[in-house]
Every structure is written in C-alpha cells, then in structure tokens.
Structure 1
Amino acid sequence: MNQLSTLPGGIAIRVAVSRALLWIERAVPAFLPAALTVAAFFVLSLFGMWAALPGWLHLLLLIAFAAGLLFAVGRAILGLRYPTAAEGIRRLERTNNAQHRPVTTLVDPPAALIDSARRAWSLHLERTLIRARRLRLRGPRQLFVRGDPLALRWALAILLVAGFAAFGNETAARVADAFQPNFSSPSAVPGTLTAWVAPPGYTALPSIPLEANPGGVDGRVVPVPDGSALLVRVHGGSGESAAEMAAGAQLSFVQLDAANAALEVPIDDGGPVVVRQGSEILAHWVFEVIPDEAPEALFAHPPSGTARGSLQLDVAASDDYGVRSLETVIRWRGEAAAAAEEPIRLELPVSSRRARVIEHVTYHDLASHIWAGEPVQMELAATDARGQTGTDTVETRLPARRFDHPIAATIITERKKFAYEHAPRRLVGHNLKALAAAGATYGDVPRVRDALVEAATLVSGEPAPDARRRAIDLLWEAAVWVEEGTFAEADAAFRDAQDQLAEALRQDSRPDALEQLLSDLGENLMDYLEEMDESFAPPDQDEESGASVPGGFDADQNATRRELQDKVDEIVDLATTGAPEEAEDALDDLRDITENMERAGERMLAESDQRLDQRQAMMQQMQEMMEQQEQLMEQSFYQSARAGVADQKSPGSGSFDPPEDRQNRLRRELGEMMRRLGEEGEEIPSELGEAEQAMRQAAQELQRSRPGQASEAQGKAIDLLRLGYEQVRPMPGGLGPSQVAGERPGEHNRQSRDPLGRVPPGDGASPTGDVGIPKKLERRRAREIVEELRLRAGDATRPELDRDYATRLLDWY
C-alpha cells in the first residue's frame, strides 16, 4: 500500500475520514466507563446520598470514585491509537460490503507484469476505480455496546434527568457537599421544629403557621388574636427541648416518644418566645396580642310604626369576630300603674354564620301590649362570643294601632282605663257590659259579645294578676275582631308563618322541615288574601255582577296581590335551591309589603296626584303654544298681504323680535316638551314630531322673506298641534277632556278609592279602573332598570350630574 498517494482525490478523502470514524468507534467504548463513573457520582450527589453516609464511608467512596475514574481514563488513553491507512481502507470497504476490495487493489498493484498482461491489468484497474468511486462513508456503529454491555447508561441517564428536574437550582451546592465529608456525630444535628398558632374557635380564623429560624436572635413579630394558643412540635435532635416565655418562665416539652416532643401553651400577654433544644435556639418569635373589641350596636333610624301599628326597628351592629346575639329591651317610662309589666325583650335575627356586620329592618307586632302609644326606653344590645356587649339607647313612644270602627276604639279606651287605673274598675266593667248589650253596633257577633261579658266580669271582680292579664287580652281580641273580623286571624297566622320560616332559615333546618314551613306559608298567604278581599269589600257590592272589589286583591286587577304571590314564589325557589340568605332577604321584602301596604297606597296616591298636576301643566303649555303659533301665523299672513312694507308690525304681535327667532323658540319649546314626555315613559304622538318639522319649515321660509309659504307651514303646525293635544290629553284611569281642563279625577269622591289610592273599576271613564297588572317581563325589566339606576347613583366614579340624574329617576320609580 505504498502507493496511497496515487489514489484519486475523492477516494483519498474518504479513506482519511474513514480512519477518523474508526478512531471514534474505538475511543467512545474506551472512555465510556469513565463517563459512567462521573454520571454515578452526580446521581449520588443530586439525591443527597452523601449526607446519609458516615464521614469515613463518605471519604472512602470519594477515593474509590477518584481511583476508578483515573483507572478508566488511563486505560482508555494507553489503549487507544490512531488507525492506519490500511485500517481506514478496510473499514471503508467493509461498511460498503465491497467485493474484491477495490481500494486495496488500487493501492497494492502486482510486483511485476509481463507485457501481455499489462493491457488486461489496465482494464481491470479501470473497472476497479469505477467500483471504488461508488463507495460511501458510513457513520460509527455500536459505540456503546462494547463499553456498556449491561446498558447501565440508560438507568443513569433517567436518574440524572430526574435529579436535575427536582434539584436543578441546588446542583452546585449538592455537588460541593459531596466533596465535604461530615465527620461530626449525627446526634449533634438539631431537631426539626414545626409550630403554629391556634386562634380561639369563636374567631373562625385558620391556624397561623410559624417559620423556624434556627439560631435567630431577632424574632419576627406575629400578631395573634386574644385567647390564642401556641403549639410546637420538635422531631429528632439531642438535648431537652424547652420554651422561654416573655415573663421569663421556662416550659419543658412533653416527650411523646423517643424522637418527638410537644408543647401547647396559651399566649396571654404576648412578647418574645424562644424555643431551645439543649444549647441550640430552634426558633424565636415575638407575639403581639390583638385584643377582642366589644361589639357596637346602633339604631340606624329612630324606631317607628307601620301602617298596621307594628314596631319597625332599623338596627345595625358590628363586631371584629362576629355578633352572636342581638336583642332589644323595651322598658316603661310612663305612669307607675303599668310599670309592673316585665320589660319587653325582642330577640333580633342573627345569622348562624356569625356575620361581622349586621344591618336589619325588623317588624314586631306589639300593638296588643298595654304600653302601645306610651313613652318607653329602648335599649339595643349586641353580644359577641366572649360575652362582651355594646348598647345603644333611645327614648320614644311605642307605636299604637289606629282603630277606625267606633266600637273598637271605645273598647281600646276602656282597656287603657283599666290597665292604667284611670277609672274605677266597676265603672269600666259597667261600660263594657253596656257595649256588650249594644250588639247591633258591632254586628251582634257572639265572639265579641262573649269576650266583652267575660272581660267585664273579670274587671269588676277581685283584682288578681291572672285575671288582669286575661281581661286585657280579651278586650284586645274583641277590638280587633270588631275592626277586622276574620281577617285578624288570617293576618296573625300569616305573620306567624313568616316568623317560623325566618327562624328555620337562620338555623339551617332540615330540607323536609323547610318544605313544610314553605307549604304553610303558601296556604296562609291564600287565606290572608281571601280574608282581605272580603274585609275590604263594600256591603252593597253586587256579588253576581262580577265587578272587582274596590281595595280588594283580585288577581286580575290588583298588582299588590300578584306582587305578594310572586314574592312567596321567590322565597320558595330560593329556599329549595340552597340560598338561605337570599331567601331571608326576600322574606324581609314580603314583610315590607304586608306591613306598609296602606303607607304605600298613600304614597302612590300622592305620586299620582303629582303626575296629574304635571300633565295638566303640560296641557296648559300646549294651549299656550297653539295660541303663540296662531299669532305668528297671523303676523306672517299680514306680512304676505302687505308685501313690501317691511317695517309694518302685525296686530297683536307685541314683540319686536324677528318672527323667525320667535318661531325657532316655539319649535325648541315643543322639542323640550316631547323630551319630557319620553322621560315619563309616555308614547310621543307622531303628530307632535310632524308639527316640529312644520315649525322648522316655517322658520326657514321666514328667513328667506317668504311669509306666504311660512303661513301655510304655520297653519299645518297648528292643526298637528291640535291632533297631538288630543293624543296626549287622555290620562290613565280614564281622564276625560273636562278633567284636563282643571277638574281632578276622584277629587269629589276620594273615599271611593281603595286603600292603595286607586280608582276602582267603573269609577270614571275606564271600566276597569286605573290599575293594570304589569306582565312578568315588564316587572322584571322594571326591577333591572331600578337596580341599574341604584348602581349608577351610588357609583362615586361617575360625574355628579349623572348621579343626580339617576337619583331623580329613582325617585320617580
């Protein structure tokens, strides 16, 4: 092969590359044991295996790894040599499966050739050269099999990847620890500390974990609630564990087993706490005790009475960890005769979830109490879980119920005389007997007569506490029955059903109990509505006529009845779908409706009157606009007839303003009136829009000095204004033209209105009255509008002008 230089360039390069590849195939298996040794060292370092070894074993393994690495590297270097050209040629031929070794043939010719064989050899060389040029380089093969027949490389690779993924940020520190054998005794390693603060249960706060700071001197300040406890666990280590408290007391840990100790101690005064194990400081904290403040209670608004004489309390209370109970105590401030009565204690609802802030509007039927209408002192007391109390006190009069029936009012008067000792007992008894004898004045109801007779007997007899209480109760029942009849029982049952359901919602009662209470509420509502229909029906009503009852709650004509039913349905849906707090809110809304129906009726009547006044003012404005438009039309007609006399004034003009300016002002006034109609929710007649366009055309013609065309447009505007006037003129509730002119509907017969101030069917032009029942979608849309207006009115980020506008719209709703 001494003729290697005679090879063509391409084949010579392939032979050189083949020699390099053959060297790689020999070097990789030679150095693989050294690489596996290094990989094993990194695996042990990453997984912290060195720390678990004694110092002497750690050192021996380090030496063993170093010796093994040196041996593997030295053996690889000494046994490795670069391949010869013949070995490179042979690899090139072997990897291509070349027959007859073409490259070897080219570099190793025969020693001597006869002349007859030279030509044949030349042809053979040409064919061999073609075959040699077809040879291709092949990559290294079986690099790892000879150096790692057991495939340990895969296991080490997986462990390395896992180690770097888990401890990649600590690689340098863990490898450095591998070169630092620890010859100290394992017993000198400090124990592991786990500590936390357990707040008292009434705070409902989670445990506060504490961080250990071994050897720390400056403790971290940890705020904790008053009444908290410190719990510490120490695992392992040597020496006795102890805690040094703020007052200098030394507390020893309780040894749970050979490796674990525990300590539990209350944190009373706060201050520093140091935990030691032997001479080592495991942790150092400074506790700051946060005192439990007493709750605050407040009457958000002065106590007031509802239309039915119930006591309305608007209260608020707050506590840093939740209010446990809320109570109002009512004490007598009047004459000594009634002071013997026990104070009235009202337990106000408090959520079982212990809310930190409570705002309540509650109703309490105390009209039957003898203190009703008299001066009392009310004390609101809020109590927290530790028994601390916050109070607020007001002096007021307990609401009293108004009785319109003269006999009922007389019974109540005699009842007060007896309770307050304003008259001799026998005189009161005589008066009661006289009332009982006058059966015609109260319908000769046996129940009322029997109650009056029994009360008269008790009042006239020997004084006794039980007899006094019984007589007072009988007189109240008789007065209420005379005033309302059977409606009083339905009203009381409906109130009791609401109270029982509210209590069950606050106590998170079982679903079956809630279902029964909800069913009772629905039944009591139906009885309540039926009794109310009968109670408000006039005695001369024709039952067969099918006319609606003034003031009744007929499902087709009374929105209040539908509102009550919808609210009960909402309560049922919320309670059955697991929303007790929302159900309580809806129940409060139901109480608002039932307690203040009469007050709401008065307010609706006042609002109706106010809107009527506004509409009459608008009608008057439209009449004035028509008069002004007629004046402008006369002026335009006069100017058209006297064409060419520019300085001539029209009769009745009374103004030196240019007529086009007056026309534009009148047009803008009409536009403003249409805007107000739209804001009131009224449909704007199309005739008014066309009238505004005619006024615009008239103003343009006047600017062009064409009074004739202007007068035509102005006449058209007048006709359209009259049509629009007729469209706007009718009012809800059957207002007629005569009423628009100044007569207020129902003014002559205000008594015929129902308790909510509505015109009954048949009264006025409307055969169905002035009340329409809104559809469900309309009510939902109205509620959405009201909620959006409330959000905008309370949004401090909005301009003040926007908030004022939203507030005015809320007042309208």
Structure 2
Amino acid sequence: MTDRQPPIARAIALTRIGLWAERITQAFWPAWTAVLAAVAVWASGLAGPLWEFSLIGALAILALVLVVIGMRGFRAPTQAEARARLDETLPGRPLATLDDDLAIGSGDAGSSAVWAAHRRRMAARLSGAKAVPGDLRVARRDPYALRYMAVLLAAIGLLFGTLWRVPEVPALPGIGGQVATGPAWEGWLEPPRYTGLPTLYLNEIEPGTVDVPEGTRVVLRLYGETGALSVTETVSGRNATTPGEPLQDFTVVQSGTVAIDGAQGAPVWTLTASPDTAPTVAPDGDAAFEFPDQVTLPWRAADDYGVTAAEITIALDADGTDRRYGLEVEPEPRQPLVLDMALPIAGDRSDFTEVFRADLTQNPLAGMPVIVMLSATDAAGQDGTAEARMILPGRAFYDPIASALIEQRRDLNWSRANRVRVARLLRAITWKADGTWNAPTAYLITRMAIRRLDQGPLTLEQRDEIAEMLWQAATRIEDGSLDSALERLREAQERLAQAIRQGASPEEIERLMAEMRRAMDDYTRQLAQQQGQQGQQQQQAQGDTQEITPDMLDEMMRRIEELMQQGRTAEAQELLRQLQDMMENMQVTQGQGSGQGQPGEGEQAMDQLRDQLREQQDLSDEAFRQLQEQFGRPGEQGQQGQDGQQGQPGQQGQPGESQQGQDGQGQQGNQQGQRPDGRGENGEGSNDAQSLARRQETLRQGLETLRRNLPGAGSEAGDAAREALGRAEGAMQDAERDLADGNLGGALDDQARAMDALRDGMQELGRALAGDRPQGIENQQRGEAGGRDGRGLNRDPLGRQSGQGGQLGSQESLGKGPDAARRARDLMDEIRRRSGQRDRPKVELDYLKRLLERF
C-alpha cells in the first residue's frame, strides 16, 4: 500500500541510495586513498622515472588488495533496509504499523473500528516523511585523515604539476633567470639602524660613487660555481679575505671601492664613508635657584643622528674658593656628584635645548665654586663633553642665626679638622639665646650638635649626621621667620621688575612669575599664622593695615601676566609696584565662608582643637623661656647631674660645656644653692615648673574630654582622629611628668610630639567632616571670592582647588583653565627631575621612565 504512494516511494528510494553511498565509502575508502596517492606521484613528476614507476606500481597493487578486502565486506542494501531506516525516523513507526494486521478481536466491530482509525493516523504521518541521508563518516576508521591527505596531494599535483608532465622548465624572472643560466650576485647596503636610513639594493644602483654612513654593513651573495665570481673591496680594512666565498659580509670603516670580478660589466662602486661626529653639549645660560629646592641649569646638545643619554658631573673647585676662615685648611676628598640629565620625551634629539633641574639644596657643594662637566652620548657610543666653572646656586638664608648655622655646616663639610672651631662658634651662637631664637626646637637641635662635636674625632657618618642637624635647625628658623619670607618676596619682585624693564623673553617672565607666586604664598601663610597668634583685638587695633585676600593677590598677578602678554610693559610695571606696596603693609584675611547661623558640632570640635594646639604652643614657649633662663644662670656649667657626676655633658638643662662656663663662673653651681635637677634649694624655679605641670595637666584633661565627645565615630577618619588625639594625650602626660621633675628639655620634646599628634587629629577630623558635609555647605565654605579661580593658599601642588577640612584632592580637572599648559609643564619638569635622581628606588625610577615614554 505504501509503495503505491509516490512521496513514500521516492523517500525510500533516496534513502536506499544513501545506504549505497555509505557502504561503498566505508568499504572502499582505503582503496581510493591509495589511488589518489598514486595520482599525486604521477602528476607531480618530482621523483625520477625509476622511483616514480616503482611507487605507482606499489600503490596500484595496494589499491587492488584494498578493493578485494572491501568487496569481501561489502553488502548491497535492500529495499527492506531502506524502509526500516526511514521508518526509524518517523514517530510511531508508521510503515511497520501499516504492514501489520489485527491479531485479536478481528471479528469485533468496535476493535476493527479502532484499528482502522489507528491506521489512518499512521498513514497521515507518512505525508511528512523525508529521505534519510547516508552516513559517510569514517573518522573512527581513519583517525589520521589519510584520505584527506591523499586528496590534497592529488589536487596539488594536478594544479601545479602538468597532466602530461612537459619536461621544460619555464624561464624565471630577475635573479632567478641569471642563476639558472650562469653565475650571478646580489648585494645590499645596510646603514646603522640608529641613522634611520633605508637599506639599499646594490643591484639597482648604477656603478659609481655612493655616499654611505660609517658603519654601513655590506652583504654580497654570489651564485654559481665557486670561483666564478670574486669580490674586491677596500672599505672594511680586513687583512685576510676570501674573495670567492659565496657570502661576503663586511662593514664600511673607511672610504674605498667595492668591485665584483667576473660579473657582467665588472661593476665597481666607490663608497664614500660619512663619519659619525661626536655629540656636542654646552651650558645655555646661567645656573639659578628656584625656591624652595630647585637648582636649574639650561643646556644645549646636538648630534648628527641624535643624543641618547646625557649626564652632569659636579665637583668642588678648590682653587676658585675664597680660602678664609673655615676654608683655610685643605678640603677633604669628596666624590663628584654625577646625575642624569633628562632628554626631550618627544621630537628630534639632534639639536635641542633643555633645562637640568635637581634638588641640590642640602648638598655640601651648594653655594660653593664648582666645576660642572656636561656629557652627552650618541647611539654610536661617542661622548661629547663641556666644562664650566660656576657658583652652584643654593638656598639663601636671610635670618642671621640660620645663615650662621649654614656657614658652620659648610665648614664642617669642608673638612672634619674644623670640628673644634665649629663647636666653639656654635656655642657663641647659642650664648644667651633668649629672645633671638624663634624656634625652640632648632635651639635644642643645635645644642645636641655641639655635644656630638665635643665627643671627639668624627667619622664620615657622624659628620653627615651633624651637618643634617645643622640644616634642620637652620631651615626651622628660616621657615619660621616672617622677615626672611618677606625678604624672599622682595627679591623675587625685584627680579621680576628688572626682567620686565629689560624686556626678557616670555619664558623668563613666566618663570619669574611662578617664583614670585611661591614667595608670595610663603609670606602670606606665615603672616596669617603670626596674626592668628596675636589675637583678634590686636588685629582690629592696627588701623593702618590693608585687608587683602589671597584671591585678590592672585587676580593682580594674573593681570600682570595679561599686560605682559599684550606688550603693555609700563602698565605691568605700575601694577607690580602697587602690588609691592600692598605686600609691605597688609593683613591677610582667611575666608570663613559666607554661611549664616551657628557652627555645627564638627566645626565646634575643630575650633576647640585649634585652641588646644594654640595653648600647647604657648605652654611649650613658656617652658623654653624657663630653659633659657636656667642656661643663663651663673654657675650652670658646674652643676651636678642627676647621676651625681660633675660636668657631665648631655644632662637635662645643660648646654653641654664643661669648664667653659658663662662669665668664667663655671665652678659655682652648687655654691649658689643649685640642686641637681636644675631647681634651687629654696624652690627657685620649682614653682614655675610645677605651675607648668599643672597647666599641662589641665590641658590634657580638656583634650581627654574633647576626644570622648569627638564627632565622626565609626568612620575611618573619625577613628583615626581619636587615635591621633590619644597619642597627643600620652605625650602630654609624659610632658606633665617631666615638668614636675624639672626636666624642661625632655618636656619640650614631649610637647613637640603632642603638637604633631594634635595636627594629625585635626587633619583626620577635617576628613571626617568633609565626608559628612552636604555639598551645598561645602561649596559655601570654600570661600572662592566670587567664583574666581585663585592660585593662592587653597591650591594643591597641581594647581587645583584643594579640599576643605583636610580633604585630599578635589573634583576639579587638571587639564582645564588658563594655566593648564603651565601646570602641565611644571609637572613634566618635576617628573624629569626625579627621573634623573639615581638614589631613588628602582621601582620608582622605572615608573617615572614609563611616564616619560608614554607622555
């Protein structure tokens, strides 16, 4: 019944054809693989006749054997097998159902009706029957895909071989034809890679004169019989040569000729070697000092193919030094200072101008006559040098005490033979120091340096430690001096005014403006601190002072820049003069925000911390004054220390001298009723120390109460603020104990630790408040003076508006604003300066190098 249905019959026929293809493939694929391999050997013609016929015969025999094996296993598919495969793909196997008969209940009408309905459903399913394709996969039997390899080889043989294997070889173009017909050659001229010049193909260059750089590599290849061609050259300077070698490889070191004997036309080239000149380098201006710690030296370098490295060597010029006072003795040998100089990060390095920048402020050579040796290296390893003699710029110290300390530091670095002289002069500097030292810590550091100098001959390490102590003392005095900051500002203003009058370049004007901004920031900061200590009533009593904000100063500086850019130098000079007059007599007002209402809990805590810090500073100053009075008493040099030993240096409250007492009264200490702890027998000095101890205790108790009620609990910054205030309490407790014992020197150290911890607590509290402060209040308290973009005290090192309350960073972009280019140059200069400091960690130098390569 189903065979009479054309769709089913067609599906069964196609399924049977698929079965034939499947069984033929599975039975005879090894045979036709061998046949295709034989076709590949026959069509390619790569083997000789004997090998070719042998391979083809062997493959033919193998194919016959495989055909026999395949026929033995081959079984032709039947109609029933095709029907069964097709029936397996249909649901319910309808073909088998239609061939079945009802076995039980054939006489029952109901059963017959059900069976007839079932057969109709199965017949309906046959309408969707489709032929089943044969399974031609033999991958399991051919795991190495030999059949595909045979097909590929046969296809290559038929496509690239020849069907009839014509024996002629087609003519090859170019050098291939010459090789096939007789001796031939090829040659190349490869200039050094650093020159950037291309490689030349010698076969395309007409014989004659050719200009090449010195160091050019010549490569010649000779084809044909050995000795048919030979090379004669006079450019490499080789002693032993083999002219007939197939490969000739040599380097041009001098001008000469290259000839190829035996070649058609016997070509000869005259190679003119252009020498690689050594680089040149020289200073391009005077060395200068940029406050606070930058030494700059413009320099220029040039090379025909570019400079690859540069360095500067700075050595002491003893012959150019004024050999007086502490410099009379012979200087101790000191290794020259060798630093790398930054090269341009982009562009041509064959001729450029750069500025060397380094932090040489604390170097012993700063301020001394030096011999500067500049060195530049090119890619060929050649060096160019230049020497110059100059005074290495250093930081200027305007405070007389700071300047004297720096001079003694210079003498000690000059030679350790000045040890006794330096100690004697330092005693003179610290003699009766009350009222002349603005930094108590600097005084204590200097006295400690004197004690170390008195201990005997110094090692190099001890000398460097004492020199560092003197530097720290001098900088503390200088940075804390309002007069020195004003002097630096005046000097910067004078240099800028002189540059404007002389019509200096825009780059020089910009550099001087930046220097003046730094000096102005330093001066306004110290002036604001001084006025904060004087109190509000004293500020209001100064009716002749002028009130001015940092934003106003910045606006005037910006206006001066605009006038200079427009060429209106006269107006710029007048505005600069007005600025100088304003800076001479002004009152710096620090913006407190324009918000109204009572301050919040966080602001009140911050104000209380400021009061605590101010009171602690006053208490420390009072302790220092008492220590000065104690040093100034007669007979202090002969006082007995707490351990009962006479004249022991280093005891608390003693300046360190043994028999060189004040006014020659060094033996009268105990005779004047002086107790070993520095207090008189009748209680002189004891009441003052006890009073200071009680004040310290009250201050500590107030800080303890403030710490317990400090806002920001639970936050990282709030917890850090509490931890910092806890350290401050511990330091105050130590100071209280030292004051009670009369140990004023130890109390000063403890109070300094307490003040540092208070500052840390204020900073962390500011961070905590900044994290909880609403955006509107934060913007309101920034005090931006009408939205002007100031560059004054509230700017971070990148020139952006700094966060409030100790918050680090801001949301302001560095790449925006009128000064973005200047700030970017300053940042790149700082990266270059740091990358030239060899003493920095290697990981930091690698990071700086990656920054320079990227940007």
TM value normalised by structure 2: 0.36
Question: Larger radius of gyration, structure 1 or 2?
Answer: 1
TM-score, structure 1 length as denominator?
A: 0.38
